[in-house]
Amino acid sequence: MIGVAVTGVGWKGLVGVGQGFSVRASKLQVGSQDVADLQGSWQVLADSAVTAMDAMAGSVGHTDLAAALSQTAGKGNKAFTDLWAAYGHVCDGLTSCAATYTKADQAIAASARAVYRSEPLLRWLGRT
């Protein structure tokens, strides 16, 4: 929630806005970091798995088995890369969404500030 500092005739204090949002930008940003951490962990796992398959392919004495292991390592690397990219996409989406919610909250705060300082409202409340 963003707060608006209101100082004007008859108004003093902090006015809270954006309380109607069911999503908090800070939670989205934390989620983005969690996904980024998963992405990093996934990369370490992927590198280890592909390296192990390549090592097995190099050490086996059977040509067909070595070829199969190399092919599997290549396909595994592509699958791991695709999933890594998906994690990145989700992370970017959460970060972008957090920024959108923050901008919306700030726009509401600016509007609230303008309303609370408006001359007609103050006259209607008898505070001028």
Is 47 a domain residue? yes
The count of domains in the chain is 1
Return the SS3 of 60.
coil
Q: Which domain holds residue 37?
A: 29-105
Q: Give tens-digit pLDDT for 94-127.
A: 999 989 888 888 888 888 777 777 777 667 777 6
CB 36 within 8 A of CB 91: yes
pLDDT band at 51 (very low <50, low <70, confident <90, very high): confident
Q: Indicate if the pLDDT at residue 44 is higher than 80.
A: yes
Is 73 a domain residue? yes
Residue with tokens 């951490």: 37
Is 119 a domain residue? no
Q: Indicate if the pLDDT at residue 69 is higher than 70.
A: yes
Tally of CB atoms within 10 A around 52: 13
Amino acid 111: pLDDT: 82
Lowest mean pLDDT among 20-24, 63-67, 68-72, 82-86: 20-24
| Helix 63-116 and helix 25-59, axial crossing angle in degrees, nearest 10 | 170
Is 125 a domain residue? no
Q: Indicate if the pLDDT at residue 6 is higher than 60.
A: no
Q: Indicate if the pLDDT at residue 58 is higher than 60.
A: yes
Tally of CB atoms within 10 A around 107: 13
Q: What is the DSSP string of 1-64?
A: -EEEEEEETTEEEEEEE-TT-SS-HHHHHHHHHHHHHHHHHHHHHHHHHHHHHHHHHHH-S-HH
Return the SS3 of 15.
strand
